[in-house]
Structure 1
Amino acid sequence: MDIRSYRSEDRAGLLRLWEEDDPNPSPWNKAADILDNKQRYQPGLLFVAEDDGTIVGTTMAGYDGRRGWIYSVVVAPTHRRQGIASKLLTLAEQELVSLGCTKLNLQVRDGNEGAVKLYKSLGYGVEPRVSMGKRLEG
């Protein structure tokens, strides 16, 4: 198992993993568009887990100079509960620290208790916040 930064040759495997995880994305959440944008903005904050030539996990992070964010963590169903998500998150955290990040946030979909358990085991805590969003057109 190789846990490392994303490389351009990972594109097809990463898109396949994302599309398997979310086969019916909303129009603004298309995997290829997300990957293209990530490569334009902070490409060093995208990480993959590769097993025998296959991309089986990924995490994407961001940093605005004040706070870091974990945007997504995906592990193939066949490779879950093997510590891959923890290793990906640790690598992302290390890179964020190297950039000067001192606070990291993430959001979890309501009902995803497995993710909540994972994040708590890694030291994340629930904060009293209301998450809001707005879709921008243009």
Structure 2
Amino acid sequence: MTIRRVQPIDLEQLIELWEIVFPNDPPHNAPHLVLPAKLEVDDLILVSWEEGKLIGACMLGYDGHRGWLYEVAVHPDHRRKGVGTALIKSAFETLASLGCGKLNLQIRTANAGVVAFYESVGFEVEERISMGKHLA
């Protein structure tokens, strides 16, 4: 398995992966919209390849103070094989190399089953209220 930053050649398979892993995402999260917008800002998307197939990915954010982890996706055929853990560890290394001291993530309540996974790689539940507003 190889993990690296996203390249243009990855986009078709990355869109397919996100559509498989996140089939019920709201329309504003459609990968064909999100990915080009993200790449206009930076290339902080990690992809995991194995035997010519994109099997996992995660998008990172960093504002100079805190980091964020978004859209962690592992193809269903490759789950529970260490792909997600390897992606998260690469995210830690990537953000730390940029000077990031703290990494945050949000989990949808409908996906609360992944809490134990994130705890296994060092995340802790923090008491927060998450709020959002769509601008478009």
- TM superposition score category, shorter chain reference: over 0.9
Please identify runs of 4+ aligned residues in structure 1 that moved more than 4 A: none
- 2:121 is the alignment partner of 1:122: yes
**Would the alpha carbon gap of residues 35 and 2 (structure 1) be closer, same or farther in structure 2, given more than 3 Å must change?**
same
| Structure 1 match to 2:4 | 4
Aligned length: 136
Secondary structure in 2 matching 1:125:
coil
Question: What is the percent sequence identity of the aligned residues?
Answer: 45
State the distance in 2 between where 1:112 and 1:26 align. Answer: 14
**Would the alpha carbon gap of residues 119 and 24 (structure 1) be closer, same or farther in structure 2, given more than 3 Å must change?**
closer
Cα deviation, 1:13-57, whole Å, max 9, x if unaligned, reads: 1010011122344221111111101111121x1011111111110
Cα deviation, 1:55-81, whole Å, max 9, x if unaligned, reads: 110011000011000012000110000
Alignment of 1:38-53 (within 5 A): 38-43=38-43, 45-53=44-52
Secondary structure in 1 matching 2:126:
coil
Deviation at 1:111, TM superposition (A): 4.2
5+ residue gaps, structure 2, are: none
State the superposition RMSD in angstroms: 1.2
State the distance in 1 between where 2:29 and 2:105 align. Answer: 17
| Structure 1 match to 2:71 | 72
| Larger CA deviation: 93-102 vs 20-29 | 20-29
| Structure 1 match to 2:27 | 27
Q: Which amino acid aligns with 2:28?
A: W
5+ residue gaps, structure 1, are: none
| Structure 1 match to 2:18 | 18
TM-score (norm 2): 0.94
